[in-house]
C-alpha cells in the first residue's frame, strides 16, 4: 500500500485519531495531513561534506603555537626520520634469545643484539640477579657430554658462538665467578714457572715471568712455553708423553725428546683456529693419567670427540701455565685491553675511601703505637707476628664483651647466622669444595666454609693458596655456658663463624693468606 505524507500508528475503534486505544485489534496507518489537490514537495537528498577525524580533533581543541618548530619540521630537523625508522626495524631483526644457567641448574632467557659480547651479557645478569663484584663474573661455555668447559673472553660475541653449536646438542652457557680471569697480570710468577719459559731467539737465555707478559704485549721476538705433556693418540685410548712448544706461530712438538732443532720439530696446530678447554672427570671419560687435563678444539667444528686434541699435565700449575699462555698468545693486546676495561669499571664502583682499604697486603707493615713518639715500624718479623696475635686477642675480647653485656639483645648474633652467608656451602664434600674453588679461578685467598662430615658439630674452612686447596678444621667448644669456635686450639676464639671470617679477612693469623674472595653460587 502506498502512503503519501507522514503517517502515524492508530487503532481502529478509538475515540479519535490522536488517541492510542489498547482494546482495538486491527492496526492501520492513517495520514496526518488530509488529501489536497496541491502537490506535495518532496525532499531531495543533498551531498554533505564530511570531515576527517583529524580535522574534527583539530576543530575541537584550541590552537596552541608550537614552541619547538625546528624539532617537528622534517626539513629543519637535524635528525633524519627515515634513518630512525630503519634502525628500529633493523634492531628488531637483530635480536636473539640467549639462555644462561646458574649453578643451581635454573636458567634465565635474555634478549640480546647480535653484536652483544660476553661482557655485555654478564653485565645484564649482574643487574637482574642483583650480584656484587661485577668484574669477577664470567660466562662459561659448557659441553656436558664431552666434559668440556671454557671461560669466554670479554670481547667474544655470544651469538656467533651460539650459532656454531649443534642444534640437538646439550651445550649451554653458565654464569659463574672467575677470579683468575686477569690474575696473571697482577701475579705472573704464580702462573708461569720459569722452568717452562724460554726465549725462542736464544735457547740458552731464560725469561722471567713478569718479562714474559710484557714481551707478549709488545712487538718483536716472543718467548715460548715448553714442557712435557701427555697426549692421547688419535683413535686410541693410550696416552703418550711428548715434549711440546707453544709459540705465537702455533703449537709444535718434538719428535726426539726435548730437541728444538728444526728437523725434529713437527707442526701441530694454529692458535687462531683453536679454542682451549678444561676437561672435567677426565679419568672416567678419557682414561687420562691425571685430572689436570685440557684440550684444543677447532672454533668452527661442532662438539665431536674426534675433533679434539687431548692433553694432560703433571700438576695443576703446569696445566694453568699452558692455558694462560694460550690465551696470551692468541689474543695478546686485546686481552690486556679487556683487563684495563675491567679495572676502570672497578675504580668507578669503588669510592676513594674504600679504595684505600684495598691495598695489597704486601704493602702493609706492622706498626707499634705504644710509645710516645706516635708510632714506629716493626722491623723484626718475630715481633711483628707477636703484635699481630696480641691485636687479634684484643679484638676478640672487645667483640666477645660487646655481645655478653646485660643490655645486649638476646639472639642478636645467633649461631646459625653463617647459613645466610654466600661463603657457606652446607654439607658439601671435600672433593666438591675443591671442584668449586677450581672452577672459580684458584686465586690466593679464595675460600668457603662447609660442614665437616668426619667430625660432628665441626666446620671446615677450605682456602686456596698457590693453586692448591688447604682445609682447616673449625672446632666448637663450651666456655662459661657459651659456645665458641676456634682454629688454633683456643688461642683465638669467636662467638660465631661470621666473626671468624671477618677476623681472618683483616688478619692472616695461622693462615698462609688472608681471606679475600668468597666462593659463591648464584641463583638466576
Q: What is the pLDDT of residues 186-206, one digit of tens each?
A: 888 888 888 888 765 444 455
Q: What span, in angstroms and rounded, lies between the C-alpha atoms of 323 and 225?
A: 11
pLDDT of residue 159 exceeding 70: yes
- pLDDT, tens digit (0-9, with 9 covering 90-100), for 53-98: 555 544 555 566 666 655 555 555 544 444 444 455 555 678 899 9
Strands 446-451 and 517-518: parallel
Per domain, the residue ranges of the chain are 183-340, 364-405, 416-524
Q: What span, in angstroms and rounded, lies between the C-alpha atoms of 40 and 456?
A: 114
- The x, y and z cell numbers of residue 424, run together, are 657457606
The predicted structure's pLDDT at residue 20: 41
What integer best gives the mean pLDDT of the chain? 76
Mean pLDDT of 342-371: 55
The predicted structure's pLDDT at residue 436: 92
The predicted structure's pLDDT at residue 482: 87
Distances (CA, A) of 332 to 214, 252, 338: 10, 19, 10
3-class DSSP assignment, residue 97: strand
| CATH number for domain 416-524, candidates 3.40.50.1370, 3.40.640.10, 3.30.505.10, 2.30.40.10 | 3.30.505.10
Question: Given pLDDT bands bounded at 50, 70 and 90, which one contains residue 347?
Answer: low
Name the β-bridge partners of 463: 447, 470
pLDDT of residue 34 exceeding 60: no
Lowest mean pLDDT among 179-193, 252-266, 349-363: 349-363
pLDDT of residue 456 exceeding 50: yes
Query: Contact at 8 Å (CB) between 222 and 215?
Result: yes
CB atoms within 10 A of CB 206: 13
Element (H, E) at 303: none
Highest-pLDDT range among 52-61, 476-485, 498-507 = 498-507
3-class DSSP assignment, residue 83: helix
Element (H, E) at 244: strand 239-247
Detail the DSSP E strand segments found in 375-516: 376-377, 446-451, 459-465, 468-479, 482-486, 493-494
Query: Contact at 8 Å (CB) between 197 and 189?
Result: no
CATH architecture of the domain with range 183-340: Roll (2.30)
pLDDT of residue 24 exceeding 50: no
Q: What span, in angstroms and rounded, lies between the C-alpha atoms of 249 and 200?
A: 11
Question: Given pLDDT bands bounded at 50, 70 and 90, which one contains residue 52?
Answer: low
Name residues whose C-beta falls within 8 Å of residue 155's C-beta, 6 or more positions apart in sequence.
117, 118, 119, 331, 334, 337, 338
CA dihedral 493, 395, 502, 484 (to 10 degrees): 20
Q: Is 154 exposed, middle or buried (0-12, 13-18, 19+ CB in 10 A)?
A: buried
Note the Cα 408 to chain centre separation in Å. 41
- The x, y and z cell numbers of residue 469, run together, are 686447596
Cell numbers 722491623 label which residue?
379
Amino acid at each position: 500500500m502506498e502512503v503519501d505524507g507522514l503517517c502515524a500508528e492508530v487503532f481502529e475503534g478509538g475515540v479519535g485519531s490522536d488517541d492510542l486505544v489498547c482494546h482495538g485489534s486491527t492496526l492501520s496507518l492513517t495520514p496526518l495531513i488530509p488529501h489536497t489537490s496541491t502537490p506535495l514537495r518532496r525532499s531531495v537528498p543533498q551531498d554533505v561534506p564530511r570531515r576527517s577525524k583529524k580535522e574534527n580533533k583539530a576543530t575541537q581543541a584550541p590552537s596552541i603555537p608550537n614552541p619547538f618548530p625546528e624539532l617537528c619540521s622534517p626539513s629543519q630537523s637535524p635528525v633524519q626520520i627515515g634513518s630512525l625508522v630503519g634502525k628500529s626495524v633493523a634492531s628488531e631483526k637483530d635480536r636473539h634469545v640467549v639462555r644462561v644457567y646458574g649453578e643451581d641448574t635454573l636458567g634465565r632467557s635474555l634478549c640480546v643484539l647480535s653484536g652483544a659480547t660476553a661482557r655485555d651479557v654478564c653485565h645484564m645478569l649482574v643487574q637482574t640477579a642483583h650480584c656484587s663484584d661485577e668484574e669477577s663474573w664470567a660466562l662459561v661455555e659448557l659441553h656436558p657430554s664431552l666434559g668440556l668447559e671454557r671461560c669466554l673472553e670479554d670481547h667474544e660475541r655470544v651469538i656467533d658462538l651460539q650459532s656454531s653449536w649443534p642444534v640437538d646438542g646439550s651445550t649451554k652457557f653458565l654464569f659463574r665467578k672467575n677470579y683468575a680471569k686477569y690474575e696473571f697480570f697482577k701475579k705472573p710468577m704464580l702462573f708461569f714457572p720459569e722452568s717452562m719459559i724460554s726465549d725462542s731467539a736464544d735457547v740458552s737465555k731464560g725469561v722471567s715471568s713478569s718479562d714474559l707478559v710484557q714481551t707478549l704485549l709488545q712487538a718483536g721476538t716472543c718467548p715460548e712455553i715448553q714442557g712435557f705433556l701427555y697426549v692421547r693418540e688419535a683413535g686410541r685410548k693410550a696416552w703418550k708423553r711428548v715434549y711440546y712448544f707453544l709459540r705465537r706461530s702455533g703449537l709444535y712438538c718434538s719428535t726426539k725428546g726435548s730437541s728444538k732443532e728444526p728437523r725434529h720439530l713437527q707442526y701441530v696446530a694454529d692458535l687462531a683456529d683453536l679454542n682451549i678447554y678444561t676437561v672435567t672427570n677426565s679419568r672416567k671419560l678419557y682414561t687420562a693419567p691425571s685430572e689436570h687435563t685440557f684440550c684444543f678444539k677447532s672454533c668452527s667444528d661442532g662438539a665431536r670427540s674426534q675433533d679434539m686434541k687431548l692433553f694432560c699435565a703433571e700438576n695443576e700449575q703446569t696445566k694453568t701455565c699452558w692455558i694462560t699462555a694460550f690465551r696470551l698468545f692468541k689474543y695478546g693486546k686485546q686481552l690486556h685491553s679487556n683487563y684495563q676495561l675491567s679495572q676502570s669499571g672497578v675504580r668507578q664502583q669503588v669510592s676513594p675511601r674504600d679504595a684505600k682499604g684495598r691495598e695489597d697486603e704486601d704493602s702493609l707493615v706492622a706498626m707499634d703505637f705504644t710509645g710516645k713518639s706516635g708510632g714506629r715500624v716493626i722491623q723484626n718479623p718475630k715481633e711483628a707476628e707477636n703484635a699481630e696475635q696480641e691485636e687479634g686477642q684484643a679484638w676478640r675480647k672487645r667483640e666477645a664483651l660487646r655481645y655478653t653485656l646485660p643490655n645486649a639483645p638476646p639472639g642478636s648474633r645467633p649461631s646459625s647466622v653463617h647459613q645466610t652467608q654466600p661463603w657457606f656451602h652446607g654439607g658439601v664434600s671435600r672433593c666438591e669444595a675443591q671442584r668449586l674453588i677450581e672452577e672459580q679461578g684458584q686465586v690466593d685467598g679464595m675460600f668457603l666454609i662447609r660442614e665437616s662430615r668426619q667430625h660432628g658439630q665441626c666446620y671446615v674452612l677450605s682456602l686456596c693458596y698457590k693453586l692448591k686447596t688447604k682445609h682447616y678444621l673449625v672446632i666448637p667448644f663450651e666456655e662459661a655456658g657459651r659456645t665458641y669456635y676456634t682454629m688454633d686450639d683456643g688461642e683465638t676464639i669467636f662467638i660465631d663463624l661470621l666473626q671468624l671470617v671477618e677476623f681472618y679477612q683483616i688478619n692472616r693469623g695461622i693462615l698462609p693468606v688472608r681471606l679475600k674472595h668468597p666462593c659463591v653460587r648464584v641463583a638466576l
